[in-house]
Amino acid sequence: MDRKEFLKTCGLACVGGLGISALLQSCATSQYFAGNELTGSHLKVLQTEFTLNKKGQPVNRSYVLVKSEKLNFPIYLYKLSETEYSALWMECTHQGAELSAHGDYLTCPSHGSEFDRLGNVTQGPAQNNLRKFKTSIENQFILIHLS
């Protein structure tokens, strides 16, 4: 490979790398983090966080991610019905990596474990289900009980 060919190959590799990086960033920002309030031992999330206004039309979200600076991992909050929610700690039970949410399932970027919306392992190497939190409804809020 001559110098010109080498530079051309490197340039294409850089452009490809930038493209992949931009794609990954857009995936990361497509996840919606709900506003929340940490009060004592529970997080409060407005039920309206599950409704998105798209061009004047209400569109439902199936899940939101709940983050707090006091927590090491986000919580995946999935709407099962108007009164039932699944709240899962997004730490992989294999070696502790942060999981990624994809609609009604979660995956681990480290070694490929997968979990369903209820936190059950559907693919290893993880062997244990995810940590779950109880939820309840209070007025217009969903309460995630952390203890």
Query: Residues interacting with ligand FES, by CB under 6 A?
Result: 92, 94-95, 97, 108, 110-113, 125-126
**C-beta of 68 vs 110, nearer to ligand FES:** 110
**C-beta of 45 vs 90, nearer to ligand FES:** 90
Matching residue, tokens 């001559």: 2
Q: 116: which strand partners?
A: 105
Closest distance of CB 85 from ligand FES, Å: 24
Q: Position 72: which residue type?
A: N
**C-beta of 31 vs 110, nearer to ligand FES:** 110
CA distance 32 to 104: 14
Which H or E element spans position 29?
Answer: helix 3-29
Closest distance of CB 97 from ligand FES, Å: 4
Contact between 145 and 53 under an 8 Å Cβ cutoff? The reply is: no
CA distance 44 to 35: 9
Closest distance of CB 82 from ligand FES, Å: 32
Closest distance of CB 74 from ligand FES, Å: 15
**C-beta of 17 vs 109, nearer to ligand FES:** 109
Contact between 52 and 59 under an 8 Å Cβ cutoff? The reply is: yes
